[in-house]
Structures are given as C-alpha cells and as structure tokens.
C-alpha cells in the first residue's frame, strides 16, 4: 500500500502519518531506503539518519564557489549552500521548518551567476552539524521558471567541470 492509501484506510492526517514513520525510523524498524522515492517523499526530521540514503539526485559541492540563499520574504535570512542539484540543495544557517515552502533567491559570484536564480522550495529535512552546532536544512525545489532552471543547470555544469560531484 502507498502512504496515501494507508492514510485513507486508517483516517490518518498527513502529520500523523509523518509522526508514525518518524517513530519507525527512530526505532530502527525501517530504514530511509524503505521510504517512498524522492518524488513521493514526505517531510521528516532526520537527525541520525544517513542523509545520502534519501538524496537520490547527483549533487555538487559548492565549496569551490560561494553560493548564498536568501528568503524572498525575509532578505535578512541568509544561508550558505553546501551542495546543490537540479532537485534541491542543502543550506547551512538558513532556518527552515520541515514541510514549509519558501521563496528563495540563489546568489553567487558574477562570473558564475550574474543574476540570482529564484525558485520555491520545500524544507524536507533538518539536521545539526555535529562539529559546529549549526543548522543544516535540505530543500526540494518545487517551482522554478524555465529560464532559472536553465541557469541552474548551467551553474551545476560549471560545478561538475570542477569535479565537485559528491
């Protein structure tokens, strides 16, 4: 049965289903790989889960190029991109809320990204960097214009040329 079918059969709201699945993950009764594919994923807080098991798109480190993300509604809210793919990005220091969507702007050095890329993204997971205690959020890109997607693909191509695939 799919997650939606289980929710319908047992009359569970999405939040209750998320809590049940999180408890199963926490207890070790299921693994992240047992969960639906990325396109069908639901928001879960991942603290001790191996994130690479749930992130299926090829990702590229942005450590060679400083990329910043700002919220459209709150320009003071800024984070640094740790890695990026066509499907999403991991950002440190931007406080997301799992399951909530935000309008985001991606900024970078002019030679790589002359204009910011705008998109909507949903926070899918949150974890804490063990060495610094800083918050890291994973965002899935949900809405992006064709023009901004092309510019994102160009940026990823530049990162790929630098051998930054994770």
Task: Give the count of domains, the chain.
Answer: 2
30 and 80 housed in the same domain: no
75 and 112 housed in the same domain: yes
Q: For residue 30, is it within any domain? A: yes
pLDDT digits (tens, 9 = 90+) for 65-123: 788 999 998 888 899 998 888 889 999 999 888 889 999 999 988 877 889 999 999 99
Q: For residue 55, is it within any domain? A: no
Higher pLDDT, 119 or 11: 119
Q: For residue 122, is it within any domain? A: yes
- The answer to whether the pTM exceeds 0.85 is no
Q: For residue 53, is it within any domain? A: no
Q: For residue 49, is it within any domain? A: no
Question: DSSP per residue over the chain, as a string?
Answer: --HHHHHHHHT--HHHHHHHHHHHHHHTSS-GGGSPPGGG------SSS-GGGT--S--EE-TTS--EEEESS-TT-EEEEEEE-SSEEEEES----TT-EEEEEEE--TTT-SSPEEEEEEEEEEEE-TTT--EEEEEEEEEE-HHHHHHHHHHHHHHHHTT-B-
Residue-number span of the structural domain to which 143 is assigned? 60-161
């Amino acid at each position: 049965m799919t997650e939606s079918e289980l929710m319908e059969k047992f009359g569970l709201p999405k939040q209750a289903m998320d809590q049940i699945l999180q408890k199963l993950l926490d207890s070790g009764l299921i693994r992240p790989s047992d969960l639906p594919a990325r396109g069908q994923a639901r928001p879960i807080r991942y603290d001790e889960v191996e994130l690479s098991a749930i992130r299926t798109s090829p990702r590229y480190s942005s450590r060679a190029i400083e990329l910043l993300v700002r919220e459209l509604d709150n320009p003071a809210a800024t984070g640094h991109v740790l890695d990026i793919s066509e499907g999403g990005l991991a950002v440190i220091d931007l406080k997301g809320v799992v399951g909530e969507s935000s309008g985001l702007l991606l900024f970078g050095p002019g030679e790589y990204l002359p204009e910011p890329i705008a998109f909507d993204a949903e926070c899918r997971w949150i974890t804490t960097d063990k060495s610094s205690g800083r918050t890291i959020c994973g965002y899935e890109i949900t809405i992006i214009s064709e023009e901004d997607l092309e510019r994102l693909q160009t940026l990823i191509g530049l990162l790929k040329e630098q051998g930054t695939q994770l």
